[in-house]
Amino acid sequence: MNDVPTAGARDLGGPPWEKALVRRIREKNLAWTSEKTYRSWCRRFIVSCDGKQPETLDHADVRRWLSDLAVKERVSVSTQSQALNAVVFLFQEVLKRDPGDFSDFTRARRGRKAPSVLTQAECKRLFEAMEGNSRLMAELMYAAGLRLSELLRLRVKDVDLERLQLAVQSGKGGKSRLTMIPPKLEQALRAHRERLRELHANDRAACLPGVELPEALERKWPKAGEKFIWFWFWPSRNLMRDHRSGIVRRHHVLDVTFQKAIREAVERAGFDKRVSPHTLRHSFATHLLASGVGIRDVQDLLGHADISTTEIYLHTAKHTGIGVRSPFESL
């Protein structure tokens, strides 16, 4: 989902350069998470330039800053690349200048760490330390290999319990994909969906604003957010005020809420390793490869643009093969 602030957004930036940056980001319809990332890096870059006016910044300033990130702050190569992308966007889209060529720049070098992974027995132990919607969310995240943002932003229409397919809309990089829903979860998900009908009916009876929609859709069909098919599959218990639009309505469960549920379950289960929600996605990929599923199939299920990203899981799996079946089925 693209959750760029709507027309009523108040957070338009501070100094003129940031206001122009926000305007270009929203004109290009980038995701809200991308906007926050770009603004954060560009602020850090501007501050590092010791008071120089943005219009006077050049290629040398960018190279010096990138070098400081690698040498002094010891950031990873991916973090450094993210910072570079943000500043290049600033130069090209806001300052309307060529930032120069960085192909010869010596980037940060740090080996990619093997992801933290749970065994299937540990996954089961984690789920048994949870209850209610939090447990069902964790089970689905593992069963379908979802990112946390993808899990939280599911809509009723995205969960096809007849075909046992999950539609991930506008995942990382704005891409969409299909993944699996294991039959073992069908009954619990159906029961959850029926409870959502009651909550949705109560919201409509209370004349609450509809849920947030992608900006273009909200402009075209302002009332679509009131339809059940667009209702959040994991709605928050309480209404919240959107800090960007000021509208009070039902939002999806917050990431910090689910992260806290996982953290408390990890403590109850007595794990001696670091476990986060994303560990469930790492475990999904690892268990598929270990069970013989081909790496290309795993790449498609995870939504990786580059297979090299998927290959990291070869270090945590014993072997690869063919055939796709959610590892949740064998718990």
Backbone angles phi, psi at 114, to 5 degrees: -65, 135
Count: domains in the chain: 2
Position 113 pLDDT exceeds 90: no
Task: Write the CB contacts of 12 (distance below 8 Å, at least 6 apart in sequence).
Answer: 19, 22, 23
Q: How far apart are CA 325 and CA 288, in angstroms?
A: 8
Q: Is 156 in the same domain as 267?
A: yes
For residue 13 the two structure tokens come to: 């930036």
Position 324 pLDDT exceeds 60: no
pLDDT at residue 319, rounded to an integer: 44
* 39 is a domain residue: yes
Q: Is 127 in the same domain as 247?
A: yes
Residue 53's CB: how many other CB atoms inside 10 A? Answer: 9
Cα 317 to Cα 189, 309, 331: the distances in Å are: 29, 14, 17
* 9 is a domain residue: no
The string of pLDDT tens digits covering residues 132-173 is: 999 999 999 999 999 999 999 999 999 999 999 999 986 565
Q: Is 54 in the same domain as 188?
A: no
Q: Which of 192, 200, 281, 282 is catalytic?
A: 281
**Residue type (1 letter), 23:** R
Position 69 pLDDT exceeds 60: yes
Q: Is 215 in the same domain as 298?
A: yes
Q: What percent of the chain is modeled with pLDDT above 90?
A: 49
pLDDT at residue 320, rounded to an integer: 40
Q: Mark whether 251 is an active-site residue.
A: no
Q: Is 296 in the same domain as 157?
A: yes
**Residue type (1 letter), 72:** K
* 3 is a domain residue: no
* 83 is a domain residue: yes
Q: Is 252 in the same domain as 209?
A: yes
* 112 is a domain residue: no
Cα 216 to Cα 66, 228, 233: the distances in Å are: 36, 19, 21
Backbone angles phi, psi at 7, to 5 degrees: -60, -25
Q: Which residue has the higher pLDDT, 144 or 30?
A: 144
The string of pLDDT tens digits covering residues 245-280 is: 678 899 999 999 999 999 999 999 999 888 999 999
* 107 is a domain residue: no
Position 2 pLDDT exceeds 50: no
Q: Is 229 in the same domain as 264?
A: yes
* 102 is a domain residue: no
Residue 86 belongs to what domain range?
16-95
pLDDT at residue 219, rounded to an integer: 74
Q: Mark whether 313 is an active-site residue.
A: yes
Q: Is 86 in the same domain as 138?
A: no
Q: Is 311 in the same domain as 194?
A: yes
Q: Which of 23, 157, 172, 177 is catalytic?
A: 172
Q: Mark whether 278 is an active-site residue.
A: yes
pLDDT at residue 110, rounded to an integer: 52
In the chain, where does DSSP find H-type helix?
16-27, 32-48, 59-71, 77-89, 120-128, 132-144, 148-152, 183-205, 215-220, 255-269, 277-290, 295-302, 307-310
Q: Is 137 in the same domain as 250?
A: yes
pLDDT at residue 5, rounded to an integer: 41
pLDDT at residue 39, rounded to an integer: 93
Position 4 pLDDT exceeds 50: no
Q: Which of 26, 147, 252, 287 is catalytic?
A: 147
CATH number, domain at 65?
Answer: 1.10.150.130
Position 289 pLDDT exceeds 60: yes
* 46 is a domain residue: yes
Q: Mark whether 281 is an active-site residue.
A: yes
CATH number, domain at 159?
Answer: 1.10.443.10
Q: Is 280 in the same domain as 146?
A: yes
Q: Is 224 in the same domain as 303?
A: yes
Q: Mark whether 44 is an active-site residue.
A: no
Q: Which of 153, 155, 287, 304 is catalytic?
A: 304
Residue 47's CB: how many other CB atoms inside 10 A? Answer: 10
